[in-house]
């Protein structure tokens, strides 16, 4: 927001009361500017924080509820990325450019784009602070700030990415380096890591391992590769049905899994990766690598840590069924930044967006929220250049499958769904506020069998 915009921030609505902004006495020369003018700039009926999957989907839905002129999105980035494509970009099956669109093109027309960063939340005064000391007030707030990446928590990173043989599908800056490292592979260890923190798309750290295995087989180098998945976790996947299928694949393709093994240092100049053994404090192991794929530690965005809207771990503290904030009834959360106890994915965001739309509408109409989110999430486990196991499950880690087939089998159709259909669904339906997840399709599919 411009400095002029900041100066115009004179009166703002707070629970139906007009307030004087601190420093107002300096602004008397702007008293010609009416509350309406002020409202257009510094007050929105619905304020959305974050222009990622959840933020854009919700701004499209809120535009339909209250009109575009009453909605604003705060988002500093000029590019919106379809991150699920990066698994395929890292394996050379798609181009990075196909995952990117200008932010302005995905923000619904008429909705205000506040190109700034939220630096503090003040829900007791229905406002947020942005860079340059500006403040925006709201009647309803939707928090969709995503999850932050912390490469810097691994000694030697991010500067280690300046060396070859190392990549990471988790960032637009490093995903093409994965493909480079895979193409450059000659002989030795190919190591894929999983950190000791919550992550988004918990399947992605291993998807790139299966794709790398397939690529090395295709290029005749597989016999020269020792492929290993070094994971902080104690299991390969949270849902037994899919974990069993993955363990079969791991056995068949001669992949090694080292559990409770957490990456703590990369010596990129020497192509060495250092892991700690989470079961044996103080015990570390150094691996020489020919290729290293890093999944970074992740955590809540800095602005949420110790914020009034967050739980003790820094995630937005929402009701797991309605997505309404547990303390502030006019605040809501969606997606990776929340403490919803499910796997953080765009598929989950889709299902959440449909529920949250109804929750907000009921609150706007002074009714109780009733629609319940069941924790639906999905992870298309890419296990080759034409194979996907489509994992779908709920809060209880029970399969909640859309199609009336055994989805734990590797399938070509599911690969096409992931690679070709999902991007279309994302850009044209989820971001436009028309895709609330596959529940209606699932009901139809399973009904037709009865
Ligand atoms: P994001 O889409 O990350 O958006 C958060 C937004 O908030 C960003 O635009 C950011 O710039 C903005 N922001 C952050 N801080 C601030 C601030 N202080 N002020 C203002 N704005 C801020 N999901 C699937 O469903 N299927 C898949 O196959 C899949 N594969 C994946 C593979 C990879 C490699 C990755 C990285 C992700 C994958 N995902 C997948 C996960 C999916 O991309 C995320 O779960 C989804 O994007 C979450 O949406 P979100 O809105 O919560 O966060
Ligand atoms: C989904 O809805 C979604 O969001 C658009 C994804 O993110 C890219 C997914 O990966 C998946 C699998 C779904 C679920 C959709 C169907 C049709 C099963």
214: part of which helix (H) or strand (E)? helix 204-218
Regarding whether 109 and 141 lie in a shared domain, the answer is yes
CA of 68 to the centre of ligand 1 (A): 23
pTM of the model: 0.92
- Give the residue from 280, 299, 318 where a domain finishes: 299
Regarding whether 287 and 261 lie in a shared domain, the answer is yes
Q: In this structure, is residue 371 part of a structural domain?
A: no
Regarding whether 135 and 200 lie in a shared domain, the answer is no
Does ligand 1 have an atom closer than 6 angstroms to the CB of 206?
Answer: no
Share of the chain above pLDDT 90, in %: 89
Q: In this structure, is residue 410 part of a structural domain?
A: yes
Q: In this structure, is residue 349 part of a structural domain?
A: yes
Contact in structure between 349 and 356 (CB atoms under 8 Å): no
Regarding whether 289 and 164 lie in a shared domain, the answer is yes
CA of 200 to the centre of ligand 1 (A): 8
Model pLDDT for residues 187-200, shown as the tens digit of each residue: 999 999 999 999 99
The CATH number covering residue 177 comes to 3.50.50.60
Model pLDDT for residues 372-414, shown as the tens digit of each residue: 999 999 999 999 999 999 999 999 999 999 999 999 999 999 9
Does ligand 1 have an atom closer than 6 angstroms to the CB of 392?
Answer: no
Report residue 183 as tokens. 């193409």
Regarding whether 175 and 268 lie in a shared domain, the answer is yes
Given pLDDT bands bounded at 50, 70 and 90, which one contains residue 12? very low
Q: Mutate which of 88, 425, 435, 442 to test ligand 2's pocket (most atoms within 8 Å of Cβ)?
A: 425
Contact in structure between 342 and 312 (CB atoms under 8 Å): no
Write down the pLDDT at residue 446.
87
Contact in structure between 131 and 116 (CB atoms under 8 Å): yes
Does ligand 2 have an atom closer than 6 angstroms to the CB of 350?
Answer: yes
Task: Assess whether pLDDT exceeds 50 at residue 211.
Answer: yes
CA 327 from centroid of its chain's CA atoms: 24
- Give the residue from 276, 299, 322 where a domain finishes: 299
Task: Quote the CA–CA distance of 31 and 10 in Å, as a whole number.
Answer: 8
Given pLDDT bands bounded at 50, 70 and 90, which one contains residue 73? very high
Does ligand 2 have an atom closer than 6 angstroms to the CB of 205?
Answer: no
Does ligand 2 have an atom closer than 6 angstroms to the CB of 388?
Answer: no
Q: What is the arithmetic mean of pLDDT over 6-10?
A: 30
Backbone φ, ψ for residue 354 (5° rounding): -65, -40
Q: What is the arithmetic mean of pLDDT over 53-76?
A: 98
Contact in structure between 196 and 233 (CB atoms under 8 Å): no
CA of 387 to the centre of ligand 1 (A): 24
Q: In this structure, is residue 352 part of a structural domain?
A: yes
Tell me which ligand sits closest to the C-alpha of residue 91.
1
Tell me which ligand sits closest to the C-alpha of residue 346.
1
- Residue 270 neighbours by CB under 8 Å, 6+ apart: none
Regarding whether 336 and 228 lie in a shared domain, the answer is no
CA of 381 to the centre of ligand 1 (A): 18
Regarding whether 436 and 349 lie in a shared domain, the answer is no
Q: Mutate which of 350, 419, 446 to test ligand 2's pocket (most atoms within 8 Å of Cβ)?
A: 350
Regarding whether 237 and 129 lie in a shared domain, the answer is no
Residue nearest to atom 3 of ligand 2 (CA): 347
Q: In this structure, is residue 93 part of a structural domain?
A: no
Task: Assess whether pLDDT exceeds 50 at residue 308.
Answer: yes
Nearest atom in ligand 1 to the alpha carbon of residue 344 is 45
The overall longest dimension of the chain from CA atoms, in Å, is 76
Q: Mutate which of 54, 84, 104, 294 to test ligand 1's pocket (most atoms within 8 Å of Cβ)?
A: 84
Backbone φ, ψ for residue 67 (5° rounding): 95, 140
Is there a catalytic annotation at residue 12?
no
- Give the residue from 271, 299, 327 where a domain finishes: 299
Instruction: Kindly calculate the radius of gyration of the chain based on its CA atoms and give it in whole angstroms.
Output: 23
Regarding whether 427 and 356 lie in a shared domain, the answer is no
Write down the pLDDT at residue 448.
59
Model pLDDT for residues 118-143, shown as the tens digit of each residue: 999 999 999 999 998 999 999 999 99
Regarding whether 126 and 180 lie in a shared domain, the answer is no
Does ligand 1 have an atom closer than 6 angstroms to the CB of 49?
Answer: yes
Q: In this structure, is residue 372 part of a structural domain?
A: no
Does ligand 2 have an atom closer than 6 angstroms to the CB of 57?
Answer: no
Q: In this structure, is residue 370 part of a structural domain?
A: no
Q: Mutate which of 52, 338, 378 to test ligand 1's pocket (most atoms within 8 Å of Cβ)?
A: 52
Give me the number of domains the chain comprises: 3
Task: Assess whether pLDDT exceeds 50 at residue 26.
Answer: no
Does ligand 1 have an atom closer than 6 angstroms to the CB of 170?
Answer: yes
Regarding whether 159 and 58 lie in a shared domain, the answer is no
Q: In this structure, is residue 424 part of a structural domain?
A: yes
What residue numbers bound the domain in which 128 lies?
Answer: 3-88+100-148+300-364
Choosing from 12, 201, 261, 337, the catalytic residue is: 201
Write down the pLDDT at residue 378.
98
Model pLDDT for residues 251-278, shown as the tens digit of each residue: 999 999 999 999 999 999 999 999 999 9
What integer best gives the mean pLDDT of the chain? 91
Task: Quote the CA–CA distance of 136 and 131 in Å, as a whole number.
Answer: 11
- Nearest residue to 59 (alpha-carbon basis) of 309, 359, 353: 353
Is there a catalytic annotation at residue 337?
no
Task: Assess whether pLDDT exceeds 60 at residue 299.
Answer: yes
CA of 124 to the centre of ligand 2 (A): 36
Regarding whether 26 and 111 lie in a shared domain, the answer is yes
Nearest atom in ligand 2 to the alpha carbon of residue 423 is 8
């Amino acid at each position: 927001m411009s400095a002029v915009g900041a100066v115009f921030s004179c009166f703002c609505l707070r629970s139906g009361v007009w307030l004087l902004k601190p420093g107002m006495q300096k602004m008397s020369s702007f008293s010609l500017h009416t509350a309406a003018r002020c409202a257009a700039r510094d007050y929105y009926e619905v304020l959305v924080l974050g222009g990622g999957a959840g933020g854009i989907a919700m701004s499209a839905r809120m535009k339909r509820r209250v009109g575009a002129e009453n909605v604003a999105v705060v988002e500093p980035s000029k590019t919106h990325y379809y991150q699920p494509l990066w698994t395929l970009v890292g394996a050379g099956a798609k181009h990075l450019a196909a995952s990117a669109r200008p932010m302005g093109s995905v923000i619904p027309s008429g909705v205000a784009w506040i190109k700034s960063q939220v630096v503090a939340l003040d829900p007791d005064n229905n406002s947020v602070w942005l860079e340059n000391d500006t403040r925006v007030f709201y009647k309803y707030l939707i928090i969709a700030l995503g999850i932050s990446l912390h490469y810097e928590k691994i000694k030697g990173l991010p500067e280690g990415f300046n060396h070859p043989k190392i990549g990471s599908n988790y960032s637009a800056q490093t995903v093409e380096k994965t493909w480079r490292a895979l193409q450059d592979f000659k002989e030795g260890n190919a190591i894929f890591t999983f950190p000791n923190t919550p992550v988004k798309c918990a399947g992605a750290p291993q998807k790139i391992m299966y794709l790398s295995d397939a690529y090395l087989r295709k290029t005749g180098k597989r016999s020269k590769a020792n492929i290993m998945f070094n994971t902080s976790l104690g299991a390969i996947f949270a849902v037994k049905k899919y974990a069993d299928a993955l363990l079969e694949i791991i056995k068949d393709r001669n992949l090694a899994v080292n559990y409770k093994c957490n990456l703590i240092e990369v010596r990129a100049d020497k192509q060495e990766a250092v892991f700690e053994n989470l079961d044996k404090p103080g015990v570390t192991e150094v691996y020489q690598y020919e290729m290293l794929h890093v999944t970074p530690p992740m955590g809540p965005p800095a602005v949420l840590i110790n914020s009034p809207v967050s739980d003790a771990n820094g995630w937005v503290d929402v009701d797991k069924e309605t997505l309404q904030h547990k303390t502030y009834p006019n605040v809501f959360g969606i997606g990776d930044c929340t403490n919803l106890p499910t796997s953080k994915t765009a598929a989950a965001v889709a299902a959440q967006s449909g529920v949250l739309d109804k929750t907000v509408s009921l609150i706007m109409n002074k009714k109780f929220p009733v629609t319940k989110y069941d924790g639906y999430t999905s992870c298309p486990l890419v296990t080759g250049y034409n194979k996907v196991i489509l994992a779908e499950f709920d809060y209880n880690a029970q399969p909640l499958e859309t199609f009336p087939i055994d989805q734990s089998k590797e399938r070509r159709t599911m690969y096409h769904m992931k690679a070709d259909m999902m991007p279309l669904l994302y850009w044209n339906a989820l971001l436009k506020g028309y895709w609330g997840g596959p529940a209606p399709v699932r009901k139809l599919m399973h009904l037709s069998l009865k």
